[in-house]
Chains A and B, each alone.
Chain A
Amino acid sequence: MRGPRVIGDLVSGDGSADRVVPPSGQTAHLTLFAAAVMAFLAVFALALSLSTGRLADRWGEDLARASTVRISAPGEQMQAQTAAALRVLETTEGVASARALDATEQRALLAPWFGPEVPVEDLPVPQLIEVIETDAGFDAAGLRLRLSAEAPGAVLDDHTRWRRPLVRAAERLRALGYLSILLIGGAMAAIITLAASAALSANAQVIGVLRLVGAEDRYVARAFVRRFTLRTLAGAAAGTLAGCLALLLLPSSGEGLDMLTGLGFRGAEWLLPLLLPPVAGLVAYAATRRAALRVLGELT
């Protein structure tokens, strides 16, 4: 119900409500400028949230697959040490599951280096155990101690664990990015409320005359709401465009250093910044409408 009204009020081509309020140069330019800046910032906040989100997801997946235990032992002890290591792992807190890889899987892992025909069984390759952690994770130092006691040939390789605090940081950064978008929206609502209130006070005489000839509050409000909404829409569109161009022009280093050079949108994510101008317009519509109806309510 409300949506169509908003659109109707804006596109009804009711320029008459526009004309009855004198044009206001400075407020117009400042609103346009503020909307553009806010949209520009929002593009970056959005890009930051999405990029760090991607990073956190990928590293998080790596973490879940996590660690391996590698057992190097003379052929006859291999079986016993593997069994011992598995026993240790099964009773370790923070280990969700542990599983010794079978020959086929080991061969698949080695294939890239030795070709597909390696007779794994005949080679002195270490036995690998895949360890899946719980969310809480295990105490690596403690696990190493117990392993060395039970299976001297076992080496815990937890190379991806150092990423855990980074993942947490990336997740925090993503949350901060979304919070920034909310704050930018709030600041924009505040700026537009101020600008609209200033415009309304500056036009108190005009509003008085309109009221005397029988204009309803809705009509008077519409003149202001339309103006500020369209201005914000235009400003935000320009700001969004500038923000996206700036992102496109960021130098790319390909792989690695994701944090710095991966800032931006991928594929369908490019559709998200397109939402910024309409959302900004909606914020402006709501803010101006509230300001207008409040100011009008105070007049006789």
Chain B
Amino acid sequence: MIELDNLAYSYGGGELLSEVSLKLAPGSFHFLTGPSGAGKTTFLKLCYGALVPTAGHARIFGQDVREMTRDDIAMVRRRIGVVHQDCQFLDHLPISENVALPLTVAGRDVQAEAANLDELLAWCGLTPRASALPPQLSGGERQRAALARAVILSPDVILADEPTGNVDWEMSQRLLQLLVELNRMGKTVLIASHDLGLIRAAKQHVQARVLRISNRRLQLAGADL
């Protein structure tokens, strides 16, 4: 699915990530942890082609990011659902349209998928807020909407950057359950989070591996966390 080969990245100063190698196998479930500023968001961006590695290779669905055109990247993003740390909505459109946006830009018939959309909104507890504008939502509601948008196209891979940062424990369990459910359907999941409780909870439901960024390197954390 996603393959990083001896990759390094720097924003211009010193290297933020070095010698990173990783294969995300289909159907796998990973957590990514590390202190704030370690480069978790940067790592995810490398995984969905928003950043090009400064050294080494990143291959997405077998294609080297460096050789991909802008449209190739657009197509890849329809197969990778991303929950961004800062959500990123179109503030002039209601939540329901924002969640359906991947369908819209992919030229799919949004009307035909209306039932799916309603179900998804209900699952994320957003039905009462469906016609609100993004700036009118709470932080947690925005994160739920971002997750809903990430999975609406039923992507092969789901990358989530702190998807539970602003929600209470119960809601975070629900969102986790959704991700676990999707993983059981064969989707590859990678969640960046420093919520160790969430990670422990997940491990009861799913075979999850924990990656940790420390000292610019990516390490596989022990079973004990």
Contacts and interface: CB of A to CB of B under 8 A. Distances in A.
A213 B70 contact: no
Interface string A206-226: 101111111111110000000
A25 interface: no
B84 A212 contact: yes
Contacts of B70: 216-217, 296-297
A156 B72 CA distance: 81
B77 interface: yes
A293 to B, nearest CB: 10
Contacts of A22: 90-92
A218 B70 CA distance: 10
A214 B90 contact: no
Contacts of A140: none
Interface in A261-288: none
Given A209-B88, A213-B149, A217-B71, A16 B104 contact: yes
B163 interface: no
Interface string B83-101: 0100011111100010001
Contact of A208 (B77, B88, B101, B149): B88
Interface residues of A, number: 21
Interface in B71-127: 71, 74-78, 82, 84, 88-93, 97, 101-102, 104-107, 110
B85 to A, nearest CB: 12
A28 B106 CA distance: 27
B61 to A, nearest CB: 13
Contacts of B82: 212
Nearest to B72: A216
Nearest to A206: B90
A212 B88 CA distance: 9
Given A20-B101, A300-B50, A213 B77 contact: yes
B102 A209 contact: no
A19 interface: yes
Nearest to B79: A214
A213 B93 contact: no
Contacts of A217: 70-71, 74
Contact of A214 (B75, B92, B93): B75
Interface residues of B, number: 27
Nearest to A219: B105
Identify which of B71, B101, B105, B106 gathers the most chain A CB atoms within 10 Å of its CB.
B105
A214 B74 contact: yes
B50 to A, nearest CB: 6
B102 A214 contact: yes
Contacts of B77: 211-214
B71 A213 contact: no
Contacts of A218: 71
A213 B102 CA distance: 5
A20 B90 contact: yes
Contact of A213 (B75, B105, B107, B110): B105
A16 B82 CA distance: 22
Nearest to A299: B70
B149 A216 contact: no
Identify which of B84, B90, B91, B97 gathers the most chain A CB atoms within 10 Å of its CB.
B90
Identify which of A22, A215, A218 gathers the most chain B CB atoms within 10 Å of its CB.
A215
Contacts of A215: 74, 105
Interface in A178-224: 206, 208-219
Nearest to B76: A214
Contacts of B89: 209
A221 to B, nearest CB: 12
Contacts of A296: 70
A20 B104 contact: yes
B65 to A, nearest CB: 12
Contacts of A216: 70-71, 74-75, 105
B48 to A, nearest CB: 8
Nearest to B89: A209
B113 to A, nearest CB: 13
Q: Nearest 6 A-B pairs (CB), nearest first?
A: A215-B105, A214-B77, A214-B78, A22-B92, A216-B74, A213-B102
Interface of A: 16, 19-20, 22-23, 206, 208-219, 296-297, 300
14 contacts: A16-B104, A16-B110, A19-B93, A19-B97, A20-B101, A209-B101, A214-B74, A214-B75, A214-B106, A214-B153, A215-B105, A217-B71, A300-B50, A300-B51
Given A20-B104, A209-B89, 4 more contacts: A211-B77, A213-B101, A219-B105, A300-B50
